Structure 1
Amino acid sequence: MNSRNRGKNTGDDTLFGSEKQISKLKLAVEDMRYLLTREYPEKAASELVGNRYRLKTRQIQALRGASASDSQLHNRRLKHVETLDLKGRTVYLDGFNVLILLESLLSEAYIFEGLDGCIRDLSGVHGTYKRVNQTLIAVELIAAFYQKNQIQKLVWIFDKPVSNSGRIKQIILEFAEQHQLNWEADLQFNPDKFLAESSEIIISSDAWILDHCKEWFNLIGYLIREEKLPVNLIKML
């Protein structure tokens, strides 16, 4: 196992660790929602708001993740399912999105609750996925969720072009075999499109997927509550 994690970046405490910065971000999210609702393009809106509040690059990243238009929020709310809806169902999980977010959360990085109630982080896959100290704990948390809610089958979807995607797929399948879980793992060239077009319940915090999928479940929010995870959570509402 690598001795590494997905914790905070240098400087994150300055950007997100004070009440003053958080208040500023909340105001920025309100402005961003106003502009997006009036159909300003996201990039232009975030530049405008970023300039107004003198936000740094990572703060703008958090702002964009947390914001949405009124119609997006309404649409996402309508499609969100509750834990009771999961029993006996097949669920598709956005592999890297969920895994990296959980690894960040467990590494005490800052995570953000957006207007849609979804939790997001500031990490991402940049062409390569590297397993970290928290990877196995993240998989165990997902296994506990799967068993507790009597899900019929869980299918992990990973980006085929990301290097090491085959390796993490193997780790997931070996874990499932050891613990007798009805899991599958699949590599897709365009996982976002695949998930958005699926008729099954989706687990992801990717905004585009949430806007286009049929049904989704807020797994990270559930795990924070259910497992009482200690988190550096900033509510952007």
Structure 2
Amino acid sequence: MIRMLRLRRAIGDLLYLLDHGYPRESAVNFVSNHYRLPREQRHLLARCVFSKREAGEHRRKLVRMRGVRGRRLGVDGYNVLITIESLLTGKTVVLCNDGVLRDLRAIFGKYRVGPATLRAVSALVQLLERAGPREVIVFFDKQVSHSGELAADVRARLKSAGLRGNSLAVAGVDLRLRGFEVVASSDRAVIKRARAVWDIPQELLRLKGVPSPKVVRVTGSGINLFRRKTSFAGRGRGPRSASVSSDRRRRLSSRI
């Protein structure tokens, strides 16, 4: 309970600083150090808390499955698959205050293909079949071990499903995703440059195509952190207030 209260206050302080224009990296580091947050909670602040302005920009770009049909789709391969794996294996995921679902494992550089990977690929391709994009390209960072083999497997599955597209192991995935009508990624830099964003892991939750995960929710008007074992359906208890008192505002502004 004490740790969760500390995290709630940390998120509230970070929201205040971001909304008042403080540099993101400095604000995250300051708040994380001030509250002595453990690694996973620091990662949550860095990946899942956005200013009202930025959160609003992200939300305006989000599309549902029907918004993908007939359009060119670029998929951030590892970004999407790792989050789907988290859902399939019951790991904690976070519904961030920009409306995007993210995982906190931070395993990208150490990622290893395993049984859960194949299940995640199957779930991905089945969803793509339902979405019906005009063309889909899935990009994997070639610096990760066995990216070539994984890309080949996804390519074969796309072909078997009758989907027009490709799967490639490349350098600079972020750059490759530019120019698509819709991109599937939770990466902040990718979302910033995208015209439209499809949150594939969250779509899987909506369709109940994966086991019920543990969900932590961060809201923009305050903080509502909860874990539950039911599929996310956009409901839950109302947000608990995380407003920052005037005294705390003065302390925050003077210390950073």
Aligned alpha-carbon RMSD (Å): 2.0
The residue that corresponds to 1:204 in the other structure is 185
Per-residue CA deviation, residues 104-128 of structure 1 (Å, 9 max, x unaligned), is 2212111111111111112345545
Secondary structure of 1:123 counterpart:
coil
Matched, 1:143 2:143: no
In 1, the alpha carbon distance for the partners of 2:124 and 2:24 equals 32
Aligned to 1:130: 112
Structure 2: give runs of 5+ residues left out of the alignment.
220-256
Q: Deviations over 1:166-212 (max 9, x none)?
A: 111111112223333333112331111222x2232000001111112
Separation in 2, partners of 1:126, 1:80: 24
The amino acid of 2:182's aligned partner reads I
Tell me which of 138, 153, 166 is aligned to 1:184. 166
* Structure 2 counterpart SS, 1:87: coil
How many pairs were matched up?
Answer: 218
Query: CA 1:166 to 1:125, structure 2 compared with 1: closer, same or farther past 3 Å?
Result: farther
TM-score normalized with structure 2 length? 0.78
Tell whether the 8 Å contact from 1:26 to 1:236 is kept in structure 2 after alignment.
no
* 1:11-32, Cα deviation, whole Å (9 max, x unpaired): xxxxxxxx55444333322321
Identity %: 27
Question: Which one-letter code corresponds to 2:216 in the other structure?
Answer: I
Question: What is residue 93 of structure 2 aligned with on the other side?
Answer: 111
> After superposition, what is the alpha-carbon deviation per residue over 1:19-73, rounded to whole angstroms, capped at 9, x for unaligned?
5544433332232122122232222211221233331121100121111122211
- Flag structure 1 segments of 5+ consecutive residues without an equivalent: 1-18
Give the greater-gyration-radius structure (CA): 2
**TM superposition score normalised by structure 1:** 0.83
CA distance in 1, matches of 2:119, 2:2: 33
Distance 2:9 2:203 in 1: 26
Range moving further from structure 2, 74-83 or 126-135 = 126-135
1:231 is displaced (CA, Å) by 0.3
C-alpha separation in 2, matches of 1:125 and 1:192: 18
Q: Which residue of 2 aligns with 1:5?
A: none
In structure 2, C-alpha distance between the alignment counterparts of 1:183 and 1:73, rounded to whole Å: 31
Aligned ranges 1:15-164 → 2 under 5 Å:
20-127=2-109, 129-164=111-146
In structure 2, how many angstroms separate the alpha carbons of the residues matched to 1:187 and 1:94?
11
1:167 equivalenced with 2:149 (yes/no): yes
